[in-house]
Chains A and B, each alone.
Chain A
């Protein structure tokens, strides 16, 4: 049985096309051609303007409507488990309104009802993956057929994936009687594809995610509780993180995911282009806090009138987000935060805080003075691209031992880095921002856990998954420190396998480092992590499942105001009062109170 690799777009369609035209000008035409397996249905009504199209793929039918969005998030997003189909229909309405009314009426009545929902019919492919799964499941025991663990990651698929899987399997078959199947979903569509894999009957065992999604999956019964599995199979995990930290990723005793090895916490810092800092003789020791930068910007701007002083964007790496030192409690919309994470246990409205008002005022001032781009409020361009273009002087970003090299390799410039704090703070999201969860679909969660835990302790497997095969995809440049580079004649464009996603894989700290990195990078990273102070809320996660409606409404309010304010392009005097009023109306106080209640309960149990 053919195993599907990553998604739903692999088999031959069967197509039924129906074309109905206005009876008196042009007659109708019908044609049908069928191939095995799946079916694609398309109808066009030329007398009207509606185009209806739906596609059914084995086990999965996704909607293709005029806006791709509606297919997934809107009217047509539903799913059946157990091999039924995910189906959606986006119907227009039709009919030719001339004389032949009753056929027109029939068509119109059928199509006018613009409903989209789920159907159970026509799923030929359901058995496909299920069959494969059963075969694999039956061989779970030792000595039997090895169980294949499907690991889903986000990234770009590598051309020589099968060669690496074969190498990994040599190790896993010997050690655990298991195999590994890597599925790499492209970034752009990863969340939708993952949602479909979890909703359908797709083969999926362990996958990369974050706490916000994982808790959502938990409530919809799409992942399994890992607590018992870790007790039994999580030897390496317990050694690395300790049981307390691992248990931190739980909601009501349900352990939803295990963290990967990355930096814990970060230090807000200003990153300035070194060449310009030297050219204008800037005294970096005079920069103690963000507002000291004003003098720097003034000097540089005077000499470089065509340059923009500070990078800003409307979402993501905004200056305000990057300066923020409060614990946002793993909530991207920051609906209630610990403003002083080291000392305070009171959850406050972040947007009503003095810090928020002062910082947005400072940024707006810089915006008016031209230090921040006039297009900051609409900018969606990644900072790497902007710096490469050579017109940007500085950026607020999070510092950790890996950043200097990362910045230089991704922009081509050296940076002078001034941190605004001496030590990192581990926030509530430090251990649940990048995690691995085990899917409900897994036929053998025990084996999945065993394999996952094995990778945490196996440099060989980590190097294979992240960098490929030694001698083919990389060679050791500095064997003593484990620094590697491309073999002679191989480049980034010709390499067969180089996933280069250490932070997303279980344990990068035991793997090789790429050329140009600090030879002691992992040691420094551990040191950095150990130097971190802890937020009081470290390990706390707010279970918001009872507040879906408020949070959905609040998300809209936050998106309306935060982009402009956080990027510095809107006047805080005008917009913050409006923002706060809208938040209150949408129920932020209720959410904060609930957060506080859960937090207090969590503190008392700690």
Chain B
């Protein structure tokens, strides 16, 4: 029987038409840049002595490719490197009349408010734990849905499901917050007034009970974000060589065995890449999710306050640029350390899977 998505040629064409894989661009010049670099690396390994001359020669040979690299490098330089000079703002008492570099130094004064109360522990814990939960839940659910969607035989239905799952991703957090509110509101909410009352359970004041919110937020985030991760997993599922599945079927493997022995192992590189990428953002939080969805209800802060919302609430009235920069620097430094660390761990386990 025509099995999973990878073996389903019809399905594969469907994706190409949908533009997800963009296979048509296979021979564009930028691809050759990558190819070229790989070849360069191989050559370098071959002969270290010849390195210099061959590289020079390569520059001459492939100058149009380097020229095409230029806008990208320029972008990185202008957008990512030059602005780094602004880190000094976090350590300055900024005065606009004097300008950034002439403003007096403040040392670590601007960082103090982040650690002034025991909230520092709460917001750091919330930020980290929520992100860990988001990463795991979104990954597991994302992969499961991707596999399920690939099993759908009708191309039309497949596209329909995919779009339906992606749709919440395109919604604004404010809309999501009101969808949640429509469900959980004390006076008019669906859960209290239709579901719990039908089950003879006393209504719950959702927006007054911090303990439910870790589940509500993880669920809401999953509902909203899973479609995007799903797309990436579907794209790599399409790339799995169909002959593996054919061979497995000839050997009498069950669907479950196919998933466990072929699909999941083939997805590992994608999973690791996505994992490392999301770990880098582990110290950032989705401001909209944590600010809008709990409707800014103060009682819920113990389980909904994260670094970004804390900084927002602390500085919204003051507009202190130095202090907000300090918060940004703190998040960046910790994020950087975590990326380096997790990449180092991945490299210890499997060198090929590491990012760098």
Is there a chain A Cβ closer than 8 Å to B257's Cβ? no
Is there a chain B Cβ closer than 8 Å to A49's Cβ? yes
Q: Report whether B25 and A553 are in contact in the complex, using a CB–CB cutoff of 8 Å.
A: no
What separation, in Å, do the CA atoms of A315 and B317 have in the docked complex? 14
Is there a chain A Cβ closer than 8 Å to B260's Cβ? no
Is there a chain B Cβ closer than 8 Å to A121's Cβ? yes
Query: In angstroms, how far is the closest chain A Cβ from the Cβ of B304?
Result: 10
Q: Report whether B332 and A114 are in contact in the complex, using a CB–CB cutoff of 8 Å.
A: yes
Is there a chain B Cβ closer than 8 Å to A11's Cβ? no
Which residue of B is nearest A53, CB measured? B79
Residues in B with CB closer than 8 Å to A585 are 117-118
Is there a chain B Cβ closer than 8 Å to A286's Cβ? no
Given A93-B339, A553-B113, A560-B301, answer yes or no on A81-B34 (Cβ-Cβ < 8 Å): no
Residues in A with CB closer than 8 Å to B315 are 73, 552, 555
What separation, in Å, do the CA atoms of A24 and B232 have in the docked complex? 14
Q: Report whether A28 and B31 are in contact in the complex, using a CB–CB cutoff of 8 Å.
A: yes
Q: Report whether A29 and B25 are in contact in the complex, using a CB–CB cutoff of 8 Å.
A: yes
Question: Which segment, of B2-10, B124-132, B215-223, B319-327, faces chain A?
Answer: B319-327
**Which residues in window 297-356 of B have CB below 8 A to A?**
297-299, 301, 305, 308, 310-321, 323-325, 327-329, 331-332, 335-336, 339-340, 352-356
Q: Report whether B186 and A374 are in contact in the complex, using a CB–CB cutoff of 8 Å.
A: yes
What separation, in Å, do the CA atoms of A82 and B98 have in the docked complex? 10
Is there a chain B Cβ closer than 8 Å to A520's Cβ? no
Is there a chain B Cβ closer than 8 Å to A582's Cβ? yes
What separation, in Å, do the CA atoms of A113 and B84 have in the docked complex? 10
Is there a chain B Cβ closer than 8 Å to A222's Cβ? yes
Residue from the list A30, A32, A116, A564 in contact with B208, Cβ < 8 A:
A564
Count of chain A residues with a beta carbon within 8 Å of a chain B beta carbon: 113
Q: Report whether A556 and B119 are in contact in the complex, using a CB–CB cutoff of 8 Å.
A: yes
Is there a chain B Cβ closer than 8 Å to A570's Cβ? yes
What separation, in Å, do the CA atoms of A553 and B113 have in the docked complex? 6
Is there a chain A Cβ closer than 8 Å to B1's Cβ? no
Is there a chain B Cβ closer than 8 Å to A527's Cβ? no
Is there a chain B Cβ closer than 8 Å to A226's Cβ? no
Q: Report whether A26 and B84 are in contact in the complex, using a CB–CB cutoff of 8 Å.
A: no
Q: Report whether A80 and B313 are in contact in the complex, using a CB–CB cutoff of 8 Å.
A: no
**Which residues in window 6-30 of B have CB below 8 A to A?**
21-23, 25-28, 30
Is there a chain A Cβ closer than 8 Å to B214's Cβ? no
Q: Report whether A570 and B96 are in contact in the complex, using a CB–CB cutoff of 8 Å.
A: no
Q: Report whether B68 and A30 are in contact in the complex, using a CB–CB cutoff of 8 Å.
A: yes
What separation, in Å, do the CA atoms of A41 and B80 have in the docked complex? 11
Residue from the list A97, A120, A552 in contact with B272, Cβ < 8 A:
A97
**Which residues in window 89-134 of A have CB below 8 A to B?**
89, 91-105, 108-122
Q: Report whether B80 and A113 are in contact in the complex, using a CB–CB cutoff of 8 Å.
A: yes
Is there a chain A Cβ closer than 8 Å to B273's Cβ? yes
Residues in A with CB closer than 8 Å to B208 are 377, 564, 569-570
| Binary flags per residue of A369-381, CB closer than 8 Å to B gives 1, else 0 | 0000111011010
Residue from the list B25, B119, B301 in contact with A26, Cβ < 8 A:
B25
| Binary flags per residue of B110-123, CB closer than 8 Å to A gives 1, else 0 | 00110011110000
Query: In angstroms, how far is the closest chain B Cβ from the Cβ of A98?
Result: 6
What separation, in Å, do the CA atoms of A28 and B278 have in the docked complex? 22
Which residue of B is nearest A378, CB measured? B295
**Which residues in window 325-374 of A have CB below 8 A to B?**
332-333, 373-374
Residues in B with CB closer than 8 Å to A552 are 113, 116, 314-315, 318, 320, 323
Q: Which among A18, A103, A216, A549 has the highest number of chain B CB atoms within 10 Å? A: A549
Q: Report whether A69 and B287 are in contact in the complex, using a CB–CB cutoff of 8 Å.
A: yes
Q: Report whether A564 and B299 are in contact in the complex, using a CB–CB cutoff of 8 Å.
A: yes
Is there a chain B Cβ closer than 8 Å to A309's Cβ? no
Q: Which among A112, A120, A198, A212 has the highest number of chain B CB atoms within 10 Å? A: A112
Q: Report whether B96 and A221 are in contact in the complex, using a CB–CB cutoff of 8 Å.
A: yes
Is there a chain A Cβ closer than 8 Å to B109's Cβ? yes
What separation, in Å, do the CA atoms of A567 and B66 have in the docked complex? 63
Q: Report whether A49 and B278 are in contact in the complex, using a CB–CB cutoff of 8 Å.
A: yes
Given A75-B328, A191-B319, A555-B317, answer yes or no on A116-B83 (Cβ-Cβ < 8 Å): yes
Residues in A with CB closer than 8 Å to B207 are 375, 377-378
Given A32-B71, A74-B311, A585-B117, answer yes or no on A117-B325 (Cβ-Cβ < 8 Å): yes
Question: Which segment, of B52-60, B87-95, B151-159, faces chain A?
Answer: B87-95
Is there a chain B Cβ closer than 8 Å to A323's Cβ? no
Query: In angstroms, how far is the closest chain A Cβ from the Cβ of B130?
Result: 14
Q: Report whether A198 and B96 are in contact in the complex, using a CB–CB cutoff of 8 Å.
A: yes
Q: Report whether B278 and A216 are in contact in the complex, using a CB–CB cutoff of 8 Å.
A: no
| Binary flags per residue of B263-275, CB closer than 8 Å to A gives 1, else 0 | 0000001001110
**Which residues in window 566-606 of A have CB below 8 A to B?**
569-570, 575, 582, 585-587
What separation, in Å, do the CA atoms of A242 and B161 have in the docked complex? 71
Query: In angstroms, how far is the closest chain A Cβ from the Cβ of B229?
Result: 8
Which residue of A is nearest B89, CB measured? A78
Residues in B with CB closer than 8 Å to A20 are 30
Given A111-B80, A114-B332, answer yes or no on A105-B228 (Cβ-Cβ < 8 Å): no
Residue from the list B21, B89, B298, B340 in contact with A560, Cβ < 8 A:
B298
Is there a chain B Cβ closer than 8 Å to A449's Cβ? no
Which residue of A is nearest B294, CB measured? A378
Q: Report whether A122 and B78 are in contact in the complex, using a CB–CB cutoff of 8 Å.
A: yes
Which residue of A is nearest B354, CB measured? A97
Query: In angstroms, how far is the closest chain B Cβ from the Cβ of A233?
Result: 22
Query: In angstroms, how far is the closest chain A Cβ from the Cβ of B85?
Result: 7
Q: Report whether B277 and A48 are in contact in the complex, using a CB–CB cutoff of 8 Å.
A: yes
Q: Report whether A549 and B34 are in contact in the complex, using a CB–CB cutoff of 8 Å.
A: no
Q: Which among A47, A76, A199, A552 has the highest number of chain B CB atoms within 10 Å? A: A552
What separation, in Å, do the CA atoms of A212 and B86 have in the docked complex? 26
What separation, in Å, do the CA atoms of A21 and B34 have in the docked complex? 11
Is there a chain A Cβ closer than 8 Å to B244's Cβ? no
Given A41-B78, A47-B273, A374-B205, answer yes or no on A315-B296 (Cβ-Cβ < 8 Å): yes
Is there a chain B Cβ closer than 8 Å to A213's Cβ? yes
Residue from the list B85, B276, B325 in contact with A120, Cβ < 8 A:
B85
Q: Report whether A222 and B96 are in contact in the complex, using a CB–CB cutoff of 8 Å.
A: yes
Q: Report whether A93 and B297 are in contact in the complex, using a CB–CB cutoff of 8 Å.
A: no
What separation, in Å, do the CA atoms of A104 and B286 have in the docked complex? 26
Is there a chain B Cβ closer than 8 Å to A471's Cβ? no
Q: Which among B78, B235, B278 has the highest number of chain A CB atoms within 10 Å? A: B78
Q: Report whether A563 and B298 are in contact in the complex, using a CB–CB cutoff of 8 Å.
A: yes
Query: In angstroms, how far is the closest chain B Cβ from the Cβ of A309?
Result: 14
Residues in A with CB closer than 8 Å to B185 are 375, 378
Residues in A with CB closer than 8 Å to B22 are 21, 26
Is there a chain B Cβ closer than 8 Å to A8's Cβ? no
Query: In angstroms, how far is the closest chain B Cβ from the Cβ of A382?
Result: 15
Q: Report whether B298 and A548 are in contact in the complex, using a CB–CB cutoff of 8 Å.
A: no
Q: Report whether B318 and A548 are in contact in the complex, using a CB–CB cutoff of 8 Å.
A: yes
What separation, in Å, do the CA atoms of A66 and B285 have in the docked complex? 10
Q: Report whether B312 and A119 are in contact in the complex, using a CB–CB cutoff of 8 Å.
A: no
Q: Report whether A74 and B327 are in contact in the complex, using a CB–CB cutoff of 8 Å.
A: yes
**Which residues in window 27-51 of A have CB below 8 A to B?**
27-30, 32, 41, 43, 47-50
| Binary flags per residue of A495-532, CB closer than 8 Å to B gives 1, else 0 | 00000000000000000000000000000000000000
Is there a chain B Cβ closer than 8 Å to A70's Cβ? yes
Query: In angstroms, how far is the closest chain B Cβ from the Cβ of A319?
Result: 16
Residues in B with CB closer than 8 Å to A122 are 78
Is there a chain B Cβ closer than 8 Å to A54's Cβ? yes
Q: Which 8 A-B pairs have the closest CB atoms?
A: A117-B86, A75-B328, A221-B97, A118-B86, A27-B31, A105-B356, A28-B30, A67-B287
Q: A29-B25, A73-B324 are in contact. List 8 more A-B contacts (CB 8 A).
A: A75-B327, A108-B355, A117-B87, A119-B86, A375-B185, A440-B97, A553-B113, A586-B117
Q: Show 10 residue pairs from A and B whose CB-CB distance is below 8 angstroms, ordered by the A residue.
A: A30-B30, A74-B308, A74-B328, A92-B277, A93-B277, A216-B319, A222-B96, A375-B188, A377-B208, A556-B313
The residues of B with any CB-CB pair to A shorter than 8 Å are 21-23, 25-28, 30-31, 33-35, 37-38, 41, 68, 71-72, 75-76, 78-90, 94-100, 109, 112-113, 116-119, 181, 185-188, 205, 207-208, 228-229, 232, 235-236, 239, 269, 272-274, 276-278, 280-281, 284, 286-288, 291, 295-299, 301, 305, 308, 310-321, 323-325, 327-329, 331-332, 335-336, 339-340, 352-356
